[in-house]
Structure 1
Amino acid sequence: MNTKALGSQLKDSIPIGELSTQYGGYGIQDTLRTGFSSVQSELMPSHPLELSEKNFQINHEKVNLSTVRNIQGLHAPLKLHMEFKAVKQVQRLPFLPSSNIALDTLRGTDECIGFEDILNDPSLSEMMGEPHLMMEYKLGLL
């Protein structure tokens, strides 16, 4: 085998560093190597209030906790956080619908009727699973 001819072929070829770039030789994105691009992640919110509305519940809880801290002291928000954590851990079996009434009571949304109260009825769900399979999945047996 002629090693000089092989060396000249390697010198004229494309370096490996250029192959690993996001765009191929023709300026088109290499989807096989980089995956599909998400246009949604590149978009900015269409309105200034959109970001505020997405984070409304989180911001509302922060304001409530800071108000409670200013009025009652440091122990009150810590106690509420512990209660939230304890209430979130208590759930029914995975195949039974849960109303989360204790969490709604702690948040103060038990007296409000919202979008999720009417259109999030689990009995109207199209998806019903096998109880045994769902329990095995939750326990990590599958």
Structure 2
Amino acid sequence: MTESLTVQQAERYLLAKPASTLYYPFGDDVKVFRVKQKMFATLSFGKGNEKDTGSKMAGYYCINLKCDPDEAVMLRDIFTSVIPGYHMNKAQWNTIILDGSIPRGEIERMMDNSFMLVVNKMTKKEQQSILLHL
């Protein structure tokens, strides 16, 4: 049996990233994780009223993560709990439903990739100040 990721573990993992901060621009229900003011993840609870998800998110915490467009499609094909990014650019973001079906290590890898995709778009100076701590 693979170890799944709890919402508390996900939050700690995201906040452990260098220069990671928590922000609430969409209200108390949506945690936004940023690196140097740039969003790399969101975490929220699926209420079941989300459009276009077929209620897959109902009753589960969900993480939106930035993703390479080709990998985003592959992950959706592999995992039924990975869907196009809810309320995000669906080509570059995935929503991961924390229903226990995806191994913890795989979700952590997706979080790492999201973080690095955002960092890699920053100036060299900003990148260096972050990469020193990895």
TM-score scaled by structure 1? 0.24
Name the larger-Rg structure: 1
TM-score scaled by structure 2? 0.25
Normalized per residue, the structure richer in strand is 2
Normalized per residue, the structure richer in helix is 1
